[in-house]
Structure 1
Amino acid sequence: MTVTSPAESAPPGGPGGELAELQPPRLMLDAPVLRACGLSRRYGRVTALQDVDVTLYPREVLGIVGESGSGKSSLLRLLNLEETPQGGSYHLNVPGAQGRDLLTLTRFERRELRVRHIGIVYQNPHLGLRMEHSSSGNVAERLVLAGERSFAALRQAGRVSLAASEFPLERLDDPPRELSGGMQQRVQLAKAIALKPALLLLDEPTTGLDVSVQALVLDTLRRVRRELGVAMVIVSHDLGVIRTLADRVMVMRGGQVVEVGLVDQVLDDPLHPYTQQLVHAKL
């Protein structure tokens, strides 16, 4: 029996060539790049997450949907090691972390792991960028945190990452505050992929963008996924974005996962009443 990865199952040719739609994985035999079990998070008396499990394979894109307050953003913060849950475990299959529960690492160890192996694009660019610094300087900041000190190397790496995110290089010295929302997201993406992370987290990356700009951002993400082999978790309220980009989708409500499966199966034939309500509300 022949088993294909998500990238290998992509159809050749067609409009956009290499940006052609990737087919969802039908069978995964590789070791997961991410495995989180029983994640629980409370803020005072409010339960944000309750016994949430997440598994993600190399090159796979997992979409997370749900209404406001369902726990999507809390989960993303935990996966980015920004917060610590009250329960659960979290493993990444990356150098230096195999077999280790990341929740037991020191703050310094988490920071090092996050810088080298996890990238994130926030819904609000102000959370991920220094708006007064140059765009190339924002990308270089991540490389400096990883230990790079050569100005020439930082400059070149910044150009490469910005080009990979399809950012116009004639504006690499412009600060994000002077850029459109779509270009700010491209700077965030360039910063996130500068060190070729194993995991890319995306929090509503197309919210507030024009439809044409959304399409360009999604095309860029698909190309980055294929060329870097990065696995992604994308949170979005837009089911069209999830259908376009994700292989699997996880539906959350009240801090719990109510349904998970292949995108077409869940969105075309939802089983849980809440998922049915969510899908029909978006039609």
Structure 2
Amino acid sequence: MKLQDYDSAASGAMQLLAPQLMTTKPILQMNNITRHYGDVTALDDVSVEVFPGEVLGIVGESGSGKSTLLRLMNLEDTPDSGDYQLAIEGASDNLFALSSYERRMLRAQRIGIVYQNPHLGLLMHNSSSGNVAERLLIAGERRFATLREKAKTALEASEFPIVRMDAPPIELSGGMQQRVQLAKAIALEPTLLLLDEPTTGLDVSVQALVLDTLKRLQRERNITMVIVSHDLGVIRTMADRVVVMRRGRVVEQGLADQIFQDPQHSYTQALVHAKL
């Protein structure tokens, strides 16, 4: 049976909730998010929470709303309804109420993102180190030597070859471009790191290297991550918990092992079995 044959008929299936062992407060909470684009409902009453130091995976087929949700987490868009909180000092009760300038500064200082398409996150004809330094400049750093050193440190952390730090991304492979994006995203040690299909279009061997780098950074720095992917192998490798989306709604969520070994919703079952 094809995935599109599954609909909301099974929406009453048992939903696996966030693990009860998580006694700390969420670092991210999005409540009752709804977003329409004309007649299309991209998100329909979606609520998500992420805990400090965890990796949350969001999966679903194209059009499920997962990338829209990530853009909202990055404050690139505003929903029709719902609210968004980050547990950081001085943050508003609802980040969607922030001005464009306040959003830009919050993104620069506290939220990092790696896009599927490097052209969205990088200035392709600027140097790789200059791309990282741009983020530092937005956050207020002005000393050239400091910009250079911090850019180098971030590139080294993303396992980018430092001998190429002055090469523009347009001259680099897709894997290297993703490493520049990653360096830019972590340069200021963000509270939250968002990853939108970070390995799509890369060779299998390059995918493995990028995922290894992400896992190392998460382990060493205890970075809170949200990763969106249609590739269940990527999610299974990276995520502690998984949110499954279908037609703009969350149909199931729970611990990664539970989702992959004992999916409850028929749509999740179809996704998992299709990849076995």
Tell me the TM-score normalised to structure 1 length.
Answer: 0.89
Aligned equivalent of 1:94: 88
Q: Distance in 2 between matches of 1:227 and 1:48?
A: 35
Equivalent position SS for 1:96 = coil
- The equivalent position to 2:72 in structure 1, one of 71, 75, 78, is 78
1:129 aligns with 2:122: yes
Q: What CA deviation, in whole Å up to 9, does each residue of 1:155-182 have, x standing for no partner?
A: 0000000000000000000000110100
Q: Distance in 1 between matches of 2:20 and 2:43?
A: 28
Aligned equivalent of 2:7: none
1:114 aligns with 2:107: yes
The one-letter code matched in structure 1 to 2:77 is E
1:213 aligns with 2:210: no
Q: Relative contact order, CA 8 A, sep 6+: which one is greater? A: 2
- In structure 2, stretches of 5+ residues that fail to align are 1-17
Aligned equivalent of 1:153: 146
Q: Distance in 2 between matches of 1:26 and 1:39?
A: 24
- In structure 1, stretches of 5+ residues that fail to align are 1-23
- The equivalent position to 2:250 in structure 1, one of 245, 257, 262, is 257
Change (3 A) 1:222 1:26: farther
State the shift of 1:25 in Å.
7.3
Aligned equivalent of 1:35: 29
Aligned equivalent of 1:11: none
The one-letter code matched in structure 1 to 2:23 is L
State the shift of 1:116 in Å.
0.5
Q: Are the aligned partners of 2:19 and 2:254 in contact in 1 as well (CA < 8 Å)?
A: no
- Size of the aligned set, in residue pairs, is 259
Equivalent position SS for 2:88 = coil
State the shift of 1:281 in Å.
1.4
1:63 aligns with 2:57: yes
State, as a whole percentage, how many aligned pairs show the same letter: 68
Equivalent position SS for 2:212 = helix
Aligned equivalent of 1:49: 43
Q: Distance in 2 between matches of 1:44 and 1:25?
A: 36
Tell me the TM-score normalised to structure 2 length.
Answer: 0.92
